[in-house]
Amino acid sequence: MAKILTQGGIWPRIGGMSLIVSFQGQFRPYNLPPSAPLLKTQAASPTEPTHARTEEEEFQNALSESKEKGSNQPPRQTPKGSAAITAYKRSRELQSPPSSLACARDVMTCSVHTAKASDPVESAWRKMQKNESRHLPVVNDNGLITGIVSDRDLLKAGEKSNSPLSKIMVKEVLSARDTAPLKEMALVMLHERISCLPILNDLNELVGIVTKTDILRYLAQSQHLNGYI
């Protein structure tokens, strides 16, 4: 069993989450490099005070919320009004947990179709087309993930090819526990420039898959974001 990933101060540890790299049935923890550009915050412009910009954003968000509720009276943009808006938005956050606390099992697709390394490219392509999927995890006889192929990989190899998937599949696969936080998965996908993460349970068994589309769909439907989109 793979070790639980220690975050080392990059992100707060939440519920024993982990990201795992699997290679030929072996598993090791994955650490996002501390120098990852996604962890850097953009500095505010010297000519535009951060405090003033934040208050304006709060006012505009509160105005949108008022319009959605059918109110014709916009919130007052005064020091008191700004504090009231902030308090109101905070109460909404407390009522609806932030989407960053969601985990893989909340967004993953559970019915995952798989292939074997010996399967020909043509067979894998037909399976993708039938199930309208863009990724196909490759597993061994024990059900452990040993690789993954995308529709682009198959098209590059030639969708009619009889070559085995073992020749074209990505053999070092970045995966996540089913308890991995949504925020961490999204950051890793962006940093590694990948579009999916296979999801494993504590026994390293494949239990689902999370794609960028799954994350965007969850965010679009999240009650926490109703006041923002």
Question: Are 106 and 188 in the same domain?
Answer: yes
Is there a domain that residue 228 lies in? no
Do residue 86 and residue 176 come from a single domain?
no
Burial class (CB in 10 A: 0-12, 13-18, 19+), 176: buried
180: CATH: 3.10.580.10
- The answer to whether residue 229 is domain-embedded is no
- 182 versus 227: the higher-pLDDT residue is 182
Burial of 61 (0-12, 13-18, 19+ CB in 10 A): middle
Structural domain span for residue 157 = 19-31+102-221
Mean pLDDT of 153-167: 92
Same domain membership, residue 217 and residue 151: yes
How many angstroms separate the Cα of 225 from the Cα of each of 5, 72, 74, 104, 220? 29, 22, 20, 19, 7
| Pairing status of strand 196-200 against strand 172-177 | parallel
Sorted by sequence, the CB contacts under 8 Å of residue 172 that are 6+ apart come out as 21, 22, 23
Same domain, 60 and 162: no
23 membership: H or E segment, kind and range: strand 19-23
Are residue 171 and residue 84 in the same domain, yes or no?
no
pLDDT of residue 33: 66
Cβ count near 223 (within 10 Å): 11
- Per-residue burial over 112-137, b if 16 or more Cβ lie within 10 Å, else e, is bebbbbebebbebbebbeeeebebbb
63, 160: one domain:
no
pTM above 0.85, yes or no: no
Which residue from 153, 184, 194, 142 is spatially nearest to 27, judged by alpha carbons?
Answer: 142
Q: Look at residue 127 and tell me if it is in a domain.
A: yes
User: Of 62, 81, 97, which residue sits at a domain end?
Assistant: 97
Task: List, as one string, the DSSP characters of 138-185.
Answer: EE-TTS-EEEEEEHHHHHHH-TT---BGGGTSBSEEEEEETT-BHHHH
pLDDT higher than 50, residue 120: yes
Q: Is residue 8 part of a domain?
A: no
pLDDT range class, residue 170, cuts 50, 70, 90: very high
Average pLDDT, the chain: 73
90 and 152 in a single domain? The answer is no
Residue 42 included in any domain: no
Residue 39 lies in a domain: no
Tens digit of pLDDT for each residue in 180-204? 988 889 888 988 899 999 999 888 8
- Looking at residue 22, its pLDDT comes to 75
Assigned domain for 158 exists: yes
Are residues 143 and 199 located together in one domain of the fold? yes
The number of folded domains in the chain is 2
Contact 112, 137 (CB under 8 A): yes
Q: 17 is written with which tokens?
A: 């989450």
In percent, how much of the chain has pLDDT > 70? 58
The model's confidence at residue 48, banded by pLDDT at 50, 70 and 90, is: very low
Q: Say yes or no: 163 and 107 in one domain.
A: yes
Q: Looking at the domain assignment, is residue 211 inside a domain? A: yes
Q: Are 215 and 185 in contact (CB under 8 A)?
A: yes
pLDDT category of residue 118 using cuts at 50, 70 and 90: very high
pLDDT value for 40: 42
Considering the domain architecture, whether residues 92 and 168 belong to the same structural domain is answered as no
In a shared domain, residues 176 and 138: yes
Is the distance from CB of 117 to CB of 138 less than 8 angstroms?
A: yes
- Is there a single domain that holds both residue 117 and residue 26? yes
